[in-house]
């Protein structure tokens, strides 16, 4: 296939957003800023249609392609080409990102209405979306890195959107710098890939590595490259030890959080690992490492989510936990399962964030604590229903979509054995607990401790209700796409480039690209049971023993503070950051300016002093000159005599 | 008169023209400066044209009669020379535009034209004597630009700049003389012709010649222990002076390495490459750390130059096609990006007469266009992919990772990471954070049409090079092909 044969639908994925952003920036922003969202919403619709059309083509088995169309840079025998790769994993994630992202765009048009930064918000928001589309369709690491960084910049600008808030500025900086620390791993991995394999193109890389593996040797650089890529993914997908930027990132407007947590940012790390899977799977212990990181992060974040008060913060930790589950699935070698959970999570998490947005909207605050609201089931009926559906889905309760994806992971982990098998049910229990705690504290019951901000909350307008209703439908039903997804990923992944099919075994590609068949018997599975137990515990501690949350915080302020600092990890990170800053101050102010430059300048001054001193011998007085002449003559005379 | 000779005589005549125009008043001199710099930029594009058309394969040569002592008038242009001259002429034009509202005498405008003349001479000369003369000649206009039209501490900075770089040049001159003498000793021919000197076996003198050249060029780049003139000079110079200093004059050192030191002593170059890479790598991290500690915006950008030039040097000493081409491209990139940053800081200083990070705040509300451009340039400087800085950095790091141990790439990546850690907090505190006590943000109006035009041009170039660097690399790459190990 040549560049000319790339279908128009693929080009439109880029043409539509770029055009919309350009029109918005150059025409509407100066003239009619409150209309900035119109071209952008049209672009969303076009992108969604194109994404589904491409997905259908790939699904039919005829539409996968991987084509270069642009020589980006070259020198000597070094060259980087840009291209498009449309394949199963890419389109599977792309169609979710396009659909969920578009719904969030619609919601944002309602949520941000009247904000003085409306047009700035929409332009950056759409840039964020565009970056993710580019990331999912890149066909080589350099291009992926380009969009990866673009995602980072867009998120930076959105998290710091409310510039006047110090917390927002700090959170933006924290997010960007943490991601930058992760990018260090990506960039280095990219350089090592180029040094060792001379290609950055995914497909060619698979071929090169595959042929080396076929000769029974693992390239010696591969373990390090894999580790660095995992490091990069840990930053972007908020995994331990680099997860800490994500909970703070909720400082941005709520649609940003929804987009970031569901579709455009945090899934990028998981996707990077999916793209790199043949590299990682070639090194025996790397998948186990991924699974371990994922399992640990999932348990750790679920525990923390259960102790947080801010609605968006609870959801943020929940995202960290669910990303851990995706990593766990991936680490166990099941790409499709990871993608499946990524898609399902995208729907319910976007909806949950937007519900939190509606609650905030009702009290006119960007963020809300669980103490500040309560018993709002009647006041916000639509939000309440959506929240319920999504909470069930998140907790993994049949027949919601979350049940299928989560339970499959937990079953899979249990079969795998080891300590991960024990982590899985804990995650189930934990996630059901924190989401029902949040649900019950927000919408049910009546607690005297709750200091309600608003006596008469009201539901938001249709722009903010219709999108979440659609998302809730997704959160309830997308579980049924599992068989189709299996086929899509298998078609696109194995069938795509020439030679890959034969390489599957050699590359240690995941054996099960098809998801396990699900039956009703699974509803009584361990995961479901643990989830029910979690929900029941939450019910007990919020409805029956209604003041529990407030009581333990008062009784044990030390424990509360420890949870607040993420069991000390945040403190450590802050200490590291201030250590680097202090080192920089010492280098820049004390050493460079004081010691080194001081030495050089005092050297110059000493030189002046010496020449001043010497100048006393040469002040042009006749007497002096005569004396020197006499001395010189004597010297010459003396030498001549001897 | 050939085009190459015109490239340095025209701006020299233009300098005299500006001075003469000054007799009719300051604004006449200014208008004259604008006219000549437009013509000169057009000339430089004319010079660049054959290289673009032939993807850098063309070479233009002028060879005059031999003068005394083996000195002869030799000029030559290849893609690298032509690109650097185009950069000089381009920044020179923008400098005139950016200084439009300054109330300065004709000497100011003349100094910039004279500087362009000397710089063009450096980039064209292929006779080492002329090379040295042009090299030193660049100091004179810049000394006056800093010393007369600089800010409060200008005298000190100008003298420091002059003495520091002059000391470096003396070492370079000694090394050049040693090379010429050694060549005479071997062949009995006196020549300063670079081409004739290539391939000379310098024997035991070789390391000393190389050391002299590297230190001489290194002061200019500057490499790290020899850098302390830079923050003072860049900070005290007027905005346009900083732009020319950082945008073009720093590149003289790198250009000297590519054009003179490396080809003259290829053996030593290969042997010393790891040490030079170490110095460059340390420089990137050291410059970034120092930048993190600054509270003066202009000083911070000055230190960022040290870090960025470290990347260029890393690329060059990799002695690979990708590293050398990337390093050359990064020379252009740095000129554009840091040029933009210095212009913006200059505009800020013109309005508020302050440069401290805490002297401003909340500018995004008062001056949204200003903060857009500043942010754009900051991201280019950080090395955001899709903008120009990334291309150069990435190619330099690729080169060094291929030729030397990947540990140098690790050090370089640390530098890349730190870039965000000094530029973004500075950007936030000037543009995003609310005004603190003593803020002069009230005096900061948004950019006017002239200033917007300057920044649009620069930002468009950043985006262009970032997205489609291939065409640029094609112009530069043939120039460095001979150096590839």
pLDDT tens, residue by residue, A17-50:
999 999 999 999 889 888 999 999 999 999 999 9
Residues in A touching B304 (Cβ below 8 Å): none
CB contact under 8 A, A596 and B477: no
DSSP H or E segment with residue A82: strand A78-86
pLDDT digits 0-9 by tens, A277-317:
888 887 878 888 998 899 999 999 999 998 888 889 999 99
A580 touching chain B per CB within 8 A: yes
CB contact under 8 A, A580 and B421: yes
The tally of CA atoms less than 13 A away on the side-chain side of residue B445 is 6
Residue of A nearest to B481 (CA): A76
Residue A220 burial by CB count (10 A; 0-12/13-18/19+): exposed, middle or buried?
exposed
CB contact under 8 A, B433 and A177: no
Q: Give which of B27, B166, B14, B141 is closest to B89, Cα–Cα.
A: B14
Measured CA to CA, the distance from residue A106 to residue A447 in angstroms comes to 35
Min CA distance, B371 vs chain A (Å)? 12
CB contact under 8 A, B395 and A604: no
Q: Give which of B142, B147, B172 is closest to B157, Cα–Cα.
A: B147
CB contact under 8 A, B433 and A166: yes
| Domain layout of chain A by residue ranges | 3-564, 572-641
Measured CA to CA, the distance from residue B89 to residue B164 in angstroms comes to 26
A195 touching chain B per CB within 8 A: yes
Residue A604 CA: distances (Å) to CA of A591, A607, A609, B163: 18, 5, 9, 9
pTM equals 0.91
Residues in B touching A580 (Cβ below 8 Å): 421
The tally of CA atoms less than 13 A away on the side-chain side of residue B131 is 29
Report whether A434 contacts A306 (CB < 8 A).
Answer: yes
Residues in B touching A588 (Cβ below 8 Å): 289-294, 303
Which positions 264-323 of A are in contact with B (Cβ < 8 Å)?
Answer: none
Which positions 349-378 of B are in contact with A (Cβ < 8 Å)?
Answer: 362, 364
Query: What ipTM goes with this model?
Result: 0.92
CB contact under 8 A, A191 and B406: yes
Residues in A touching B293 (Cβ below 8 Å): 584-589, 592
Helices A118-137 and A8-22 cross at an angle (nearest 10°) of 160
Nearest Cβ partner of A188 from B322, B413, B434? Answer: B413
CB contact under 8 A, B428 and A160: yes
Residue of B nearest to A81 (CA): B470
Size of interface A-B (CB pairs under 8 A): 137
Which positions 115-154 of A are in contact with B (Cβ < 8 Å)?
Answer: 142, 145-146, 149-150, 153
Residue of A nearest to B292 (CA): A584
A166 touching chain B per CB within 8 A: yes
Report angle CA A268, A156, B306 to the nearest 5 degrees. 105
A587 touching chain B per CB within 8 A: yes
Q: Which tokens hold the place of B295?
A: 């509270």
Q: Which tokens hold the place of B331?
A: 């020379």
| Domain layout of chain B by residue ranges | 265-485
In B249-367, alpha helices (H): 250-256, 262-264, 266-292, 297-317, 321-352, 363-366
Task: List the pLDDT tens digit at each of the 485 positions of chain B.
Answer: 688 889 999 999 999 999 999 889 888 999 999 999 999 999 999 999 988 888 777 777 887 777 778 888 888 888 999 999 999 999 999 999 999 988 888 899 999 999 999 999 999 999 999 999 999 999 999 999 999 998 888 888 898 888 888 888 999 999 999 999 999 988 888 889 888 888 888 888 889 999 999 999 999 988 988 898 999 999 999 999 999 999 999 999 999 999 999 999 999 999 999 999 999 999 999 999 999 999 999 999 999 999 999 999 999 999 999 999 999 999 999 999 999 999 999 999 988 888 888 888 888 888 899 999 999 999 999 999 999 999 999 999 999 998 887 888 899 899 888 999 999 999 999 999 888 887 888 888 888 899 999 999 999 999 999 999 999 999 998 888 888 87
Residue of B nearest to A190 (CA): B398
A181 touching chain B per CB within 8 A: yes
Measured CA to CA, the distance from residue A330 to residue A341 in angstroms comes to 10
A32 touching chain B per CB within 8 A: no
CB contact under 8 A, A78 and B289: no
Which positions 169-228 of B are in contact with A (Cβ < 8 Å)?
Answer: 225, 228
């Amino acid at each position: 296939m040549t560049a000319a044969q790339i279908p128009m639908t693929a080009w439109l994925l880029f043409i539509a957003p770029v055009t919309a952003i350009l029109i918005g920036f150059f025409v509407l922003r100066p003239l009619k800023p409150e209309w900035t969202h119109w071209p952008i919403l049209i672009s969303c619709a076009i992108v969604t249609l194109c994404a589904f059309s491409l997905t259908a083509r790939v699904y039919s088995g005829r539409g996968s392609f991987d084509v270069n169309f642009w020589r980006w840079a070259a020198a000597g025998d070094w060259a980087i080409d840009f291209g498009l790769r449309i394949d199963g994993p890419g389109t599977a994630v792309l169609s979710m990102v396009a659909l969920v992202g578009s719904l969030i765009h619609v919601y944002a048009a309602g949520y941000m209405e009247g904000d003085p930064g409306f047009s700035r918000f929409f332009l950056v928001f759409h840039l964020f979306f565009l970056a993710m589309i580019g990331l999912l369709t890149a066909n080589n690491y350099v291009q992926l890195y380009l969009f990866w960084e673009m995602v980072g910049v867009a998120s930076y600008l959105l998290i710091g959107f409310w510039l006047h808030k110090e917390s927002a500025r700090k959170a933006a900086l924290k997010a960007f710098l943490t991601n930058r620390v992760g990018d260090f791993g990506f960039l280095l991995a990219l350089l090592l890939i180029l040094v060792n394999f001379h290609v950055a193109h995914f497909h060619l890389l698979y071929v090169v590595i595959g042929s080396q593996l076929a000769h029974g040797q693992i390239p010696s650089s591969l373990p390090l490259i894999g580790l660095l890529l995992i490091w990069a993914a840990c930053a972007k997908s908020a995994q331990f030890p680099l997860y800490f930027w994500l909970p703070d990132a909720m400082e941005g407007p709520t649609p940003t959080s929804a987009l970031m947590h569901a579709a455009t940012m945090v899934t990028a790390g998981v996707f990077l690992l999916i793209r790199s899977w043949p590299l990682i799977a070639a090194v025996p212990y790397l998948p186990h490492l991924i699974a371990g990181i994922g399992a640990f992060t999932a348990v750790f974040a679920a525990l923390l989510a259960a102790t947080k008060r801010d609605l968006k913060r609870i959801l943020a930790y929940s995202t960290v936990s669910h990303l851990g589950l995706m990593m766990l699935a991936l680490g166990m070698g099941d790409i499709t399962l990871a993608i499946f959970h990524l898609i399902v999570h995208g729907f319910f998490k976007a909806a949950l964030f937007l519900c939190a947005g509606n609650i905030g909207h009702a009290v006119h605050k960007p963020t809300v604590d669980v103490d500040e609201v309560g018993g709002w089931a009647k006041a916000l009926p639509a939000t309440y229903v959506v929240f319920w559906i999504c909470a069930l889905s998140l907790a993994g309760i049949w027949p919601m979509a979350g049940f299928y994806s989560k339970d499959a992971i937990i079953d899979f982990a249990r079969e795998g054995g080891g300590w991960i098998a024990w982590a899985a049910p804990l995650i189930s229990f934990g996630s059901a607990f924190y989401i029902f705690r949040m649900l019950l504290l927000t919408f049910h019951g009546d607690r005297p401790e709750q200091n309600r901000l608003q006596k008469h909350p009201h539901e938001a307008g249709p722009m903010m209700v219709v999108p979440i209703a659609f998302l809730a439908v997704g959160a309830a039903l997308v579980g049924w796409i599992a068989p189709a997804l299996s086929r899509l990923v298998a078609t696109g992944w194995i069938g795509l480039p020439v030679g890959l099919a034969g390489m599957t075994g050699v590359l240690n590609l995941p054996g099960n690209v098809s998801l396990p068949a699900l039956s009703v018997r699974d509803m009584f599975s361990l995961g479901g049971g643990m989830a029910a137990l979690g929900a029941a515990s939450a019910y007990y501690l919020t409805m029956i023993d209604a003041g529990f949350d407030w009581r333990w915080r008062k009784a044990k302020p030390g424990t509360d503070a420890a949870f607040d600092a993420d069991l000390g990890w945040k403190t450590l990170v802050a200490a590291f950051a201030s250590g680097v800053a202090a080192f920089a101050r010492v280098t820049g102010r004390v050493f460079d300016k004081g010691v080194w430059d001081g030495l050089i300048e005092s050297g110059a001054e000493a030189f002046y002093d010496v020449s001043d001193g010497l100048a006393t011998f040469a002040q042009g007085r006749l007497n002096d000159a005569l004396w020197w002449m006499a001395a010189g003559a004597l010297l010459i005379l003396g030498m001549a005599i001897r | 008169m050939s085009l190459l000779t015109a490239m340095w005589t025209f701006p020299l005549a233009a300098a005299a023209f500006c001075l003469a125009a000054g007799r009719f008043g300051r604004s006449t001199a200014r208008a004259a400066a604008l006219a000549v710099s437009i013509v000169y930029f057009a000339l430089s594009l004319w010079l660049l044209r054959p290289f673009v058309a032939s993807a850098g394969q063309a070479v233009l040569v002028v060879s005059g009669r031999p003068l005394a002592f083996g000195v002869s008038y030799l000029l030559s242009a290849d893609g690298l020379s032509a690109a650097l001259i185009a950069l000089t002429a381009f920044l020179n034009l923008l400098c005139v535009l950016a200084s439009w509202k300054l109330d300065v005498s004709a000497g100011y405008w003349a100094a910039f034209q004279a500087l362009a003349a000397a710089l063009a001479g450096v980039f064209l000369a292929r006779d080492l004597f002329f090379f040295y003369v042009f090299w030193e000649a660049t100091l004179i206009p810049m000394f006056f630009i800093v010393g007369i039209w600089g800010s409060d501490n200008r005298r000190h900075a100008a003298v420091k700049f002059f003495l520091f770089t002059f000391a470096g040049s003396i070492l370079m001159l000694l090394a050049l003389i040693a090379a010429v003498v050694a060549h005479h000793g071997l062949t009995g021919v006196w020549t300063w012709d670079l081409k004739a000197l290539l391939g000379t076996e310098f024997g035991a003198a070789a390391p000393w010649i190389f050391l002299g050249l590297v230190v001489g060029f290194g002061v200019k780049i500057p490499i790290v222990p020899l850098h302390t003139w830079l923050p003072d000079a860049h900070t005290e110079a007027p905005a346009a002076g900083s732009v020319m200093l950082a945008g073009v004059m720093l590149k003289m050192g790198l250009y000297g390495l590519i054009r003179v030191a490396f080809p003259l002593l290829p053996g030593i170059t290969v042997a010393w490459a790891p040490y030079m890479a170490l110095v460059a790598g340390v420089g990137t991290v050291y410059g970034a750390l120092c930048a993190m500690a600054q509270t003066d915006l202009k000083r911070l950008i000055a230190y960022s130059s040290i870090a960025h030039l470290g990347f260029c040097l890393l690329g060059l000493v990799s002695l690979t096609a990708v590293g050398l081409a990337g390093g050359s491209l990064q020379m252009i990139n740095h000129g554009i990006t840091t040029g933009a940053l210095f212009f913006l800081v200059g505009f800020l200083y013109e309005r508020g007469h302050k440069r401290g990070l805490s002297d401003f705040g909340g500018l995004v509300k008062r001056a949204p266009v200003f903060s857009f451009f500043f942010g754009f340039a900051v991201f280019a400087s950080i090395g955001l992919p899709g903008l120009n800085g990334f291309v150069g950095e990435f190619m330099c790091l690729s080169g060094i990772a291929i030729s030397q141990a990947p540990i140098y790439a690790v050090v370089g990546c640390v530098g890349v990471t730190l870039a965000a850690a000094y530029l973004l907090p500075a950007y936030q505190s000037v543009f995003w954070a609310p005004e603190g006590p003593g803020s002069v943000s009230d005096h900061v109006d948004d950019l006017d049409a002239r200033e917007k035009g300057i920044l649009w041009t620069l930002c468009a170039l950043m985006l262009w090079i970032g997205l489609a660097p291939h065409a640029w690399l094609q112009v530069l790459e043939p120039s460095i092909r001979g150096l590839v190990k």
